[in-house]
Amino acid sequence: MTGPAGAAPDPERVELVPPDLAPYRAGNTGVPYYTTLDSGRPGPHVLLNALIHGNELCGAVALDRLFREDVRPQRGRLTLGFANVAAYARFDPRRPALSRFVDEDLNRVWSRDRLDGAGQSVELDRARALRPIMDGVDLLLDLHSMQFATAPLMLAGPLAKGRALARALGYPEHVVCDAGHADGTRLRDYGAFADPAAAPAALLLECGQHWRAGTADVAIEGCLRMLALAGMIDRPAPALPQRVIQVTEAVTIRTHRFRFARAFVGMEVVPAAGTTIALDGPRRIVTPYDDCVLIMPSRRLEPGLTAVRLGRFVP
């Protein structure tokens, strides 16, 4: 197997300083912590979105910087938003993993069945409040971070328009085309974003390992590139050489006895088909083809969750 070399950084070390979001609480959209900057000129509506998970700080740091530098769109409308502020308010650098959400994962509730259903939770209430904003967005960049020290990934979704947007952005190096999770629908796959016949498109940028200083740099670069691509700012940004990974399977955990065969951090390439990468009770998880790429293995090994995605490099 090939993959990232060297010792993994301490997964609990917090290098980022959580910004104070109080100045952004009121916003101007009718939804707290969401602010729209209107150029007054025709153009797309771009949303730069942070804190779908309350403990993923890089997006909050990036948007705070854009606010403080008074970035304004030259055309169209730009919305800057902080999603799960209830979970973020609970962030404790001594136990940084515990503020991912309050009641449930905000990035698993974006199906019409969940949003229109009778269920109640802090995250569902927030998603319902955000829904009118999401319904009016043309381009979404959703900012996240990962559990392991893996190079940044752009999750472009299963549609051609997502891949085209990622390629036009030209950042980061790896573009992952995936269909999501069995345990719920992500914001990136909500509504028109997931309709191949609709124009709105969304990307999810995984900026690196949680709480590392470099994740904020990746988030800021992604934001600036999206703004430049939309014609909102003047900023040359040459495209990086990119590699596309097509995810063919998301391994969903079935039992409480799921265990990886060894410590994976992501982006390992397993040379031979049929190699055992995990055991899930009596079930053996094997690579389905040669040169299988392991995408974002999880530390949260509970039934119903995604353990890892399996993919391969494509032209």
Reported as a single tens digit per residue, the pLDDT across 65-110 is 999 999 999 999 999 999 999 999 999 999 999 999 999 999 999 9
Rounded Cα–Cα distance for residues 275 and 298 (Å): 19
Q: What percent of the chain has pLDDT over 90?
A: 90
Among 150-164, 274-288, 297-311, the range scoring the smallest mean pLDDT is: 297-311
Please say if the pLDDT value at position 3 is more than 60: no
First to last CA, the chain: 21
In this structure, are residues 115 and 128 in contact, taking their beta carbons and an 8 Å threshold?
yes
Q: Which two tokens stand for residue 56?
A: 């993923």
Average pLDDT over residues 23-51: 98
Picking from 154, 157, 267, 166, the residue whose alpha carbon sits closest to that of residue 218 is 154
Average pLDDT over residues 54-69: 98
The pLDDT of residue 239 = 85
Q: Find all residues with CB under 8 Å of 266, minimum gap 6, and list them.
A: 3, 4, 146, 148, 150, 294, 295, 296, 297
Q: Where are the domains of the chain?
A: 22-229, 247-314
Model confidence band, residue 11 (pLDDT cutoffs 50, 70, 90): low
Question: Which class for 68: exposed (0-12), middle (13-18), buried (19 or more C-beta within 10 A)?
Answer: exposed
The pLDDT of residue 315 = 83
* Torsion angle (degrees, nearest 10) of CA 231, 26, 142, 170: 20
CATH top class, domain 247-314: mainly beta
**Phi/psi at 49 (5° precision):** -120, 130
Rounded Cα–Cα distance for residues 62 and 207 (Å): 11
Q: What percent of the chain has pLDDT over 70?
A: 97
**Phi/psi at 259 (5° precision):** -145, 135
In this structure, are residues 148 and 265 in contact, taking their beta carbons and an 8 Å threshold?
yes
The pLDDT of residue 12 = 76
Rounded Cα–Cα distance for residues 82 and 32 (Å): 9
pLDDT tens digit sequence for 249-281: 999 999 999 999 999 999 999 999 999 999 999
Q: Find all residues with CB under 8 Å of 270, minimum gap 6, and list them.
A: 1, 277, 287, 291, 292, 293, 294
State yes or no: cis peptide before 172, omega within 30 of 0. Answer: yes
Fold of 22-229: Aminopeptidase (3.40.630)
